[in-house]
């Protein structure tokens, strides 16, 4: 009886984390719909909070499964703080690049801490993709190759609304896919398969 309780306790942690994947997807979808509704009503669109709220939305759902959106949420939140301070003119125009480099550095330090603590795998790819995407957008913006409506979209609540909704749909579609080799090992050890 005691050994049976020990076995249930050992294997319940990975199973409960994977059972939170659909819950995390539904919370992302709900947050996306809320932000889209608030953006459609025109509330808070003038406060340049888009990138910051996008990152905070991912961080808010990260407790359900830290391996999925904790690192990307942390990185986007730090970039969002820099973007908010820049567009609120708390950071001079001559220090915009410095502020973004510091934000990326703080994001990477947080990601290193998360990897050290075991919240994410050492080969997390999502934060790198977000930084590359952010860099491409900055380049296109400085070369005047993107439409003039793109920056107001990113700064408004349309970004967190559409971004979190899209992440929710992607999460829902990939709910039964293990995201790392460690997830595969945990599923095999706990007896969870994709055939449920």
The full DSSP string for 122-151 is: TT--HHHHHHHHHHHHHHHHHTT-S-TTHH
Domains of the chain: total:
1
CB 31 within 8 A of CB 57: yes
Record the tokens describing residue 63, joined without a space.
Answer: 């407790």
Residue 76 lies in a domain: yes
pLDDT for 35: 95
Stretch 100-128: mean pLDDT? 86
CA distance 74 to 69: 8
CA distance 50 to 155: 4
pLDDT for 58: 95
Stretch 58-84: mean pLDDT? 91
pLDDT: is 142 or 46 the higher one? 142
Q: For the chain, what is the mean pLDDT?
A: 82
The answer to whether residue 5 scores a pLDDT higher than 50 is no
CB 180 within 8 A of CB 119: no
Q: Which DSSP category does 170 fall into?
A: H
Residue 185 lies in a domain: yes
Q: Which domain holds residue 107?
A: 18-190
Residue 135 lies in a domain: yes
pLDDT in tens, 25-54: 999 999 999 999 999 998 877 788 999 999
Residue 90 lies in a domain: yes
CA distance 91 to 182: 41
Residue 1 lies in a domain: no
């Amino acid at each position: 009886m005691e050994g049976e309780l020990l076995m249930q306790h050992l294997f319940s942690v990975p199973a409960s984390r994977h059972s939170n994947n659909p819950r995390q997807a539904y919370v992302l979808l709900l947050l996306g719909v809320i932000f889209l509704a608030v953006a459609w009503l025109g509330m808070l669109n003038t406060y340049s909070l888009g990138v910051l709220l996008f990152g905070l939305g991912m961080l808010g759902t990260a407790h359900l499964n830290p391996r999925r959106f904790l690192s990307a949420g942390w990185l986007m939140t730090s970039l969002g703080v820099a973007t908010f301070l820049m567009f609120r003119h708390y950071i001079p125009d001559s220090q915009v690049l410095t502020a973004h480099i510091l934000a990326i550095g703080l994001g990477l330090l947080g990601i290193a801490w998360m990897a050290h603590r075991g919240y994410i795998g050492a080969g997390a790819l999502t934060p790198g993709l977000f930084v590359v995407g952010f860099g491409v957008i900055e380049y296109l913006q400085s070369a005047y190759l993107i439409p003039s409506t793109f920056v107001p979209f990113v700064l408004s609540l349309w970004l967190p609304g559409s971004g979190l909704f899209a992440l929710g749909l992607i999460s829902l579609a990939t709910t039964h896919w293990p995201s790392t080799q460690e997830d595969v090992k945990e599923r095999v050890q706990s007896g969870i398969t994709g055939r449920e």
